[in-house]
Amino acid sequence: MEKLKLVLGSQSPRRKELLGWLNLPFSVLVPNIEEISEFTLPSEIVEDVACQKGRAVLQQLTDSQVIVVASDTIVVRDDDILGKPADLSEARQMLSSLAGRSHYVYSAVYLGRKLDGHLQEQSFVVKSKVYFDDFSEDTLETYLSFGESLDKAGAYGIQGASLTFISRVEGSYSNVVGFPLSDFLRELKSFIGVEQDDQGSWRKLFV
């Protein structure tokens, strides 16, 4: 089989770290899009934006050996999508609205490559449920002081100091971080047609 190259279309250090745990060589190319979707359902929005990111990166490449991976994550409370807060005041409001209750995190992943003049694409969505304790003002202000909130959807990152008030997660933990790793591994093997390889020979395809 031909050799393959993996490109991560993301500027997220968390996704870069998670993908690195698969122990596959990859490079990073940041997509330049507005991340706007015309869809209304959370699962459709997040999948649409992930696909937009991946296709934007793929347009910059001509090598048929390259597989582009892109992802997007959103936080949903009831029917409201919580993006990245504009400032600490908005972060405080978001986190306060999540206290003592549950919410959902959706992540979508896109896989794409140019193969024999055609576009081969695959995408999927993973949903996790996150439960917050009913935290005190002291806990909230302490968390905000770490400065984690401003670059994260929903104003928190599960892998950081927010663990002081997250009581449990139903579903994929890595999905809440921003990249559903175990699901991606399964989908990647399907994408390149090596689902039955349990010995790891398929890893040698990537250079």
Choose, from 48, 63, 72, 198, the residue flagged as catalytic: 72
What pLDDT score does 1 carry?
67
Give the total number of structural domains in the chain: 1
**Which long-range CB contacts under 8 A does 22-30 form with residues at least 24 apart?**
22/181, 22/185, 23/203, 24/203, 24/206, 25/206, 25/207, 26/69, 26/206, 29/57, 29/60, 29/61, 29/68
Residues with pLDDT less than 50, the chain: none
* DSSP E strand stretches across 53-156: 66-77, 80-82, 102-115, 118-132
Residue 198's CATH number: 3.90.950.10
Give the domain range for residue 142. 5-205
72 is catalytic: yes
What pLDDT score does 49 carry?
97
Interval 22-58: pLDDT, tens: 999 999 999 989 989 999 999 999 999 999 999 999 9
What is the model's pTM? 0.93
What pLDDT score does 198 carry?
94
